[in-house]
Structure 1
Amino acid sequence: MTQDHGNGVRHYRWGHSELAVDFDFGGAGRADETGGPSGAAWAAGVGGDSARLLRVGRPGDPEPKDEDAEVRAALPLVDLVLAGEGTGFSGPRFTGTALGPRLRYRGHNATYDDGWHRLTVELHDPASELAVFAEYASPDGVPVLRSRVRLRNDGSAPVTLRSVSSLLLGALPSPDDLLVFRARNDWLAECRWYTEPLRASVPDIGRDVHEHDSRAAVRLAGRGSWPTDGHLAMGALNHHTDERSWLWQIESAASWSWEAGEAGGHTYLTLGGPTSDEHGWREVLEPGGEFGSEWGALALGTCFDGALAALTTYRRLVRRPHPDHERLPVIFNDYMNTLMGDPTTEKLLPLIDAAASAGAEYFCIDAGWYDDSAGWWDSVGAWLPSSGRFPGGGLGAVLDRIRSRGMVPGLWLEPEVVGVRSAVARELPDAAFLRHEGGIRVTEQGRHQLDLTHPAARAHLDEAVDRIVGEWGVGYLKLDYNITTSVPGLLSHTRAWLSWLSSVLDRHPSLVIENCGSGGMRMDGASLAVAQVQSTSDQQDPLRYPPIAVAAPTAVPPEQGAVWAYPQPEFSDDEINFTLGTALLGRVHLSGHLDRMSPGQLSLVRDAVATYKSIRGDLRAGVAFWPLGLPGWADEWVALGVRVPASEVTYLSVWRRGGAAERQLSVPQLAGREDVQVEILHPSAPASTAEWDGEAGVLRVVLPASPAVLLVRVASGG
């Protein structure tokens, strides 16, 4: 819908029943609107004015009180920096570039196909002759806006890019009204959300006196090939009065950046990939050359939980389809608190039998299967089985044993690295590795880093994977990554890496790939769209894992988020139930010395696995919420809920690590309902209680012991 206002500003509204996006095309040109849900809309600009994104909201959201102020607060549709151009504003900001306001509107094209609404707005810079395409997409009925920017050099001289925004949005509510959410993400302590008023970082400097906006902003950047080391590539703004939420992710397996600050008394938000100032990145576009930014996605909700539900739906729609997302098989992995990288035939065979008896459906042999000597860390790269670890039939006999017990065999692999002592490091050319300026190979912890843009590197990995999967019959690969680096060619490599993963799945469509980067250091939207399973952590302490498991659904849908459950024979029954219960609303990654357990202990494991299998069909469509709020790292009580939108069923897991024995869990979707049934699913013989209070809309839980866990199914009777 296009509206030409009397003041010469032409508004264009694009979206669907759950999304309304308003643009200002500056009164330029004429509109020739056609189509509808199955057609296309095209408007050609002849006046050469700028374009701005005014508002992203839901159709029922409050309209701005002062529309003219909203227009004044809007920013250019795209911000980018070229070498020699710089910014138009002093200070370390990703916005306010010299080139952004110079971009002229040329036209826009709107289409609808296969459940997605798409819009492309074409801009042009008359000085550099860059053609700029702002691309937007949104799944029908889902309040999520996906955005990126494509560039094409239509000039006769090269241009060097120093930064490109994926999404730039101004005219959000004042910083006075907003809270900003971020999530620290450190090794063994992932997904730790924290919040503060936006004004704490963006002070009111008295704009009416200085006639300038504040240079302050909330800035966050991920650096290097562990894109979620330090923070998740996410953030959110929440209105502290009406609870509206703007939640985003940047879909990059490399570096990224986002910023929220003040412009014209309103809040602006910009999302993007690597930049020159933050990451040393640059991209040279020769005449005719093209470049596309990383995708960013912005989800809207009436609260944080609602925005996360929309983002979860979106994540399921953009990821690669795979049967694993429907089946959710139970995976046993021999590493965590068990073999710890020291597999042998003697150790594996009893574990395989015990895992099958417990109900595991996949069995993954973790690190060490290729190790023929001490100090294998800096000699990996050939990915051939050890001859000494598997006597009497070799690794193949162990894989056969896994299959004979009705499980799919899996192997750990760290494909991107080559040890400095490996023969592969000498056989491949220097150009097959990531290199510093001057051509020096990247070396981290005794390992080189392959560059998947080079055909020799890709051919080496194709040979290894086709041997392991195609010849050995391995159906699960845990792809780990235990070094991190940051060099100018990283973005191209990570894009080639994801392309390579897709090609592997094209050749081996039943293969299941787990994405692990030293735990959750690669928990980004781009990787999650290709891999089937995501490691959430390497945390070995069962008492410290619950806050990670509870917050993990903010970053990954429940059916993809692998959570370790590692019961041990020396554990008490309560401790066994605790570690098993931590994984039941995620993806069960079973481990532990099951082969040394008593029959009674093993029955506890079987019961928990059976419970998981009984609910996993709901988890693949469930969306998370937090009855006690997002967890703090040291909280004595934490809780995770998963509601199933297509039914009246809700699952609640609650952990007590200390404090009083009773808590109330808010379940707002069932508030006021008296016909609610409560069933304790885990542990199988609970000492705890859970009762529904329909008037208050809460579940009253009593956990007499600590530590303890409870999984409850809450359903309306009709």
Structure 2
Amino acid sequence: MIHLSQSRSSIIFAHNGDSLEVLYWGKKLGAIDKAAAESIRAARTKPAFHGGLDVAPGNLILREHARGWIGHPALRGHRGGVNATNSFAVTSAVQKNQSMIAVFTDAIAGIEIEITYTLTPSDILLMDAKVTNTSEGDYFLEQFLYWLPLAEQADEVLDFYGHWTKERQPQRRSIDYGVITREGFEGRSGHDYTITQVALNHNTGFRHGEAWSLAMAWSGNNIHHVERLIDGHKSIGAGEYLLPGEVILKKGESYAAPRAVATFSDRGLDGLTNNHYSWIRSRTNHITKVRPRPLTLNMWEAVYFNHNEEGIRKMVDKAAEIGVERVVLDDGWFGSRRNDRAGLGDWVVSKDAWPNGLAPIIKYINDKGIEFGLWFEGEMVNRDSDLYRAHPDWILQEPGRIPVEGRWQQVLDLTKEGAYNHVLNQVDAVLSEYNIAYIKWDHNRHLTDPISDGRPVVRKQTEAIYRMFDELKKRHPGLEIESCSSGGGRIDLGMIEHADRFWTSDQNDPLERQQIQRWTGLVIPPEFLGTHVGPTVGHQMHRTHSVSFRALNALFGHAGIEWNINEADAQETETLKAYINFYKKHRGLLHSGTVVRSDEIIGDAQLYGTVAHDKKEAIFTYMQLTSADNFGPLVTTFDGLDKETMYQVTVVEELSASDFIQKKAPGWWPALTLTGDQLAHIGLQLPVLKPETGLLFHFKAL
């Protein structure tokens, strides 16, 4: 028996003859001696039932049908129609600290599988697998999935769906008999991607209950399962979705499966979130260890394709006045790109858009102490471009067929050396010529014919963009890259190893953004998530929101602005200054603290915050999304604080709602002192807020 254990979780592996199973995955167990191990094994051995085989299989890691498993196997493949079943024997299973490496062989099929399980100090379980062909002839790999068992009390599944401007919407349902499947084959993780899949109990909330999650650290095609079998097994699985013929292994060749990331929480969904944040933030190259996240002004919704140096200079003047730290010039600066029908692929500064080149505007920006960033969409090409006219063969396509277009563009085949080097070298030339600290990298369509020279290449295309990002950073130390894919179409735990920021969604409407940001943040820390103050009248929903509501929405992330700020009146400008100043003063806490999301505030409002690890400071936001069911009493409590500590509680009035549906404010308004225990149980009487307004609270230990 092998027992991996960290601060709050355990996973136990056990030999069963020549096979290996996961005996337990859940809440932390104490030390297990030999006698206890045998008792645990006996306690978890299933009976053989009538109508089944003479031996009931346990939670086999590879779930082979040849061993009696009746659900989905881990491996599916064949040798031209033969060797299609498997029975793996454990060659070795070795524990080192809180990791285990297991090697399995199937001598008949000629396949070896190595899987490494690592339980990190953050209670994140990392799984890495390699499938090797050890025999003569080609092995056609159809699928490899990671699987973990679920406890009986896991009776619901939470996953996410979405589309452009409405990504990561939650859906929660029963785990009934059969398989709940979410598949993505857009060639990217996608707007409809379930960023993680969560099994949980029907009573589990943000702050309480048990939950088990499994996600793929991968930006290509993907598959997620939750399976409940008639023999009593419940499992959660995930892996890369392989297209037919995508992986064919010759003798000695291996398939390295993308990493899977799992975790268990006995502290509700907030426990899952804080496990992920702790693990991601523990990396030596984590972005906040390099520098605080700069307040960013992106110019897309300010100017679109209408690049005018004089107008942009005026906007830069205002940006410097209010404290912006980075300005990003978006689409339209290159080639023949005066609209979205031409120019993609020609990464050369346009004389039409910028007669004097980019050097003067970059100097103007830098002279004000502001960084400059630039937009690219290097994986795409317009057919109306010099690149396509020279190399029409450099697109992903089924031979003899031009793929359907999206936004008048095709997908460059980055698995071809010429296409890859063209993009890399043109981008590198621009970065070498100018002082560019940051690039926003877009990806505005999914892959419909991901074929290169007749073979599917989603996997290779995904690996190519990872490699390109890494190479650009190697050539330009300190360069930061934002991953944008029509907004939130490529946000995942694979890209987080190569990009420094995600554009969370093209949706800037703060009411819509509340849900998008809440659930994207389930596994992605806020310092990665671009959250911007959009225009007064939103460009997506055409609703009007106060600048304070837009600012509160944008505060809990990598904050910024997406608006022609010269349109802001005096009051709006002062609020923007207050927003930027508060962000700069408190971003260290916002980008490091423990997440707290209220289970008490539901439906038409949200309460969420971040608490310092020493619990001496906290920031919470209450957002009234729609009208309240009643005028009062409206009471909110605040969890996650130290029970015995006395806190000064202050409403940050310059960023909070200023107009209420009431004759008189609550008796404590706008500040008072209470202990953490009192705040968690007695709470505060709220003012009666209008819809689409919010409050910002600051807590400081006395």
Q: Do the structures match in fold with TM over 0.5?
A: yes
Aligned to 2:113: 132
**Offset of 1:88 from its aligned partner?**
8.2
CA shift at 1:297, angstroms? 0.7
- Aligned with 2:521: secondary structure? helix
Q: Percent identity?
A: 19
User: What is aligned with 1:50?
Assistant: 19
Say if 2:165 is the partner of 1:184: no
The verdict on how the C-alpha distance between 1:422 and 1:69 changes in structure 2, with shifts beyond 3 A counting, is same
Task: Give the match for residue 137 of structure 2.
Answer: 157
Q: Would you say the 8 A contact 2:296–2:326 is kept in 1?
A: yes
Q: Which one of 282, 286, 295 corresponds to residue 250 of structure 2?
A: 286
- Does the 8 Å CA contact 1:221/1:256 hold for their aligned counterparts? yes
Q: Is the partner of 1:390 in helix, strand or coil?
A: coil
- Quick check: 1:514–1:531 contact (8 Å CA) kept in 2? yes
| Equivalent residue letter for 1:12 | I
Q: Deviations over 1:45-69 (max 9, x none)?
A: xxxx122222222324998993223
- 1:245 aligned onto 2:211: yes
Q: CA deviation at 1:183?
A: 1.5
CA distance in 1, matches of 2:190, 2:498: 17
Query: In 2 relative to 1, CA 442–709 (structure 1 residues): closer, same or farther, beyond 3 Å?
Result: same
C-alpha distance in structure 2 between counterparts of 1:682 and 1:491, whole Å: 50
Kept after mapping to 2: 8 A contact 1:672/1:697: no
CA-to-aligned-CA distance 1:553-596 (integer Å, 9 cap, x gap) = 11420111111212549999970111111111111121222223
> 1:580 is paired with a residue of what secondary structure?
helix
1:104: how far off?
0.7
The answer to which of 68-77 and 365-374 deviates more is 68-77
Aligned equivalent of 2:478: 510
1:707 aligns with 2:692: yes
Rate the CA distance shift 1:373–1:522 in 2: closer, same or farther, 3 A.
closer
In 2, the alpha carbon distance for the partners of 1:160 and 1:261 equals 25
CA distance in 2: counterparts of 1:154 and 1:572, whole angstroms: 61
Q: Could you tell me which amino acid in structure 1 is paired with residue 14 of structure 2? A: D
Q: Which residue of 1 aligns with 2:428?
A: 466
Q: Which of these residues, 214, 236, 244, is aligned with residue 269 of structure 1?
A: 236
**CA pair 630-145 structure 1, distance change in 2 beyond 3 A:** farther
Match of 1:425 among 373, 388, 403: 388
> Does 1:386 find its partner at 2:350?
yes
2:611–2:641: 8 Å Cα contact kept in structure 1?
A: no
1:396 aligns with 2:396: no
Structure-2 separation of matches of 1:629 and 1:366: 41
User: Which residue number corresponds to residue 34 of structure 2?
Assistant: none
Q: Summarize the alignment of residues 190-269 of structure 1 with structure 2, pairs less than 5 Å apart.
A: 190-199=167-176, 202=177, 216-240=178-202, 243-263=209-229, 264-269=231-236
Alpha-carbon distance between aligned partners in 2 of 1:630 and 1:26, rounded to the nearest angstrom? 48
Distance 1:637 1:548, change over 3 A: same
Q: Which residue of 2 aligns with 1:20?
A: 10
User: Secondary structure at 1:352's aligned position in 2?
Assistant: helix
Measure the CA separation in 1 of the matches of 2:246 and 2:64. Answer: 12
Conserved? CA contact 1:335–1:366, under 8 Å: yes
SS in 2 for 1:444: coil
* 1:504 positional shift: 1.0
Unaligned runs of 5+ in 1: 1-10, 28-48, 203-215
What per-residue deviation string (whole Å, max 9, x for no partner) do you get for residues 89-118 of structure 1?
889x56696967601100023335xxxx43
Q: Find the aligned partners of 1:232 and 1:682 in 2 and give their Cα distance.
A: 37
Letter in 1 for 2:219: A
Aligned partner of 2:264 in structure 1 is 300
Spell out, residue by residue over 1:213-240, the C-alpha distance to the aligned partner (whole angstroms, 9 max, x if none): xxx1111112222313213231111123
1:335 aligns with 2:300: yes
Question: Residue 36 of structure 2 aligns with which residue?
Answer: none
Counterpart Cα distance in 2 of 1:703 and 1:64 = 57
Q: How does 1:277-676 map to 2 (within 5 A)?
A: 279-280=243-244, 282-302=246-266, 303-317=268-282, 320-322=285-287, 326-336=291-301, 338-370=302-334, 372=336, 374-391=338-355, 393-428=356-391, 430=393, 432-436=394-398, 438=399, 440=401, 442=403, 444-445=405-406, 446-486=408-448, 487=450, 488-568=456-536, 575-628=546-599, 635-660=603-628, 663-670=634-641, 672-673=643-644, 675-676=646-647
Length-normalised TM-score, structure 1: 0.83
Map of 1:20-39 to 2, 5 A cutoff?
20-27=10-17
The corresponding residue for 2:148 is 169
2:87 equivalent in structure 1: 102
CA drift of 1:358 comes to 1.2
Provide, for residues 660-716 of structure 1, a one-character-per-residue CA deviation record: whole Å limited to 9, x for no partner. 356444433237547222122353475475676436164443253332122212244
2:544, 2:377 → 1: CA distance?
36
Q: Which moved more, 1:642-651 or 1:682-691?
A: 682-691
Deviation at residue 547 of structure 1 after TM alignment: 2.2
What is the alpha-carbon distance in structure 1 between the residues aligned to residue 543 and residue 650 of structure 2? Answer: 24
Distance change (3 Å), C-alpha of 1:715 and 1:423:
same
- Could you tell me which runs of 5 or more consecutive residues in structure 2 were left unpaired when the two chains were aligned: 32-39, 48-54, 78-83, 451-455, 661-668
Q: Contact (CA 8 Å) 1:77, 1:134: kept in 2 or not? A: no
Within 2, Cα distance between the matches of 1:97 and 1:388?
A: 55
Secondary structure, counterpart of 1:269 in structure 2? strand
Other structure's SS at 1:169 match: strand
Distance 2:42 2:698 in 1: 44
Q: 1:453 to 1:343 in 2, by over 3 A?
A: same
Post-superposition CA distance 1:23-54 (Å, at most 9, x none) = 12224xxxxxxxxxxxxxxxxxxxxx122222
Deviations 1:329-377 (A, max 9, x none): 10100113x2133222132111111111111100001111226465442
Contact 1:442 1:449 in 2 (8 A): no
1:443 offset after TM fit, Å?
5.3
Residue 306 and residue 480 in structure 1: after superposition, are their counterparts in 2 closer, same or farther (change >3 A)? Answer: same
In 1, the alpha carbon distance for the partners of 2:635 and 2:475 equals 50
2:61 maps to what in 1?
77
Residues 228 and 524 of structure 1 are in contact (CA less than 8 Å); yes or no, is this contact kept in structure 2? no
- Please state whether the residue corresponding to 2:626 is helix, strand or coil: coil
CA distance in 2, matches of 1:491, 1:682: 50
CA distance in 2, matches of 1:194, 1:655: 22
Q: Is the 8 A contact 2:548 2:657 kept in 1?
A: no
CA distance in 1, matches of 2:277, 2:165: 24
Q: CA deviation at 1:389?
A: 2.2
Relative distance call for 1:266 and 1:685 in structure 2 (3 A) is: closer
Deviations 1:132-175 (A, max 9, x none): 10121232x2211111220111111110000001x2123x223x
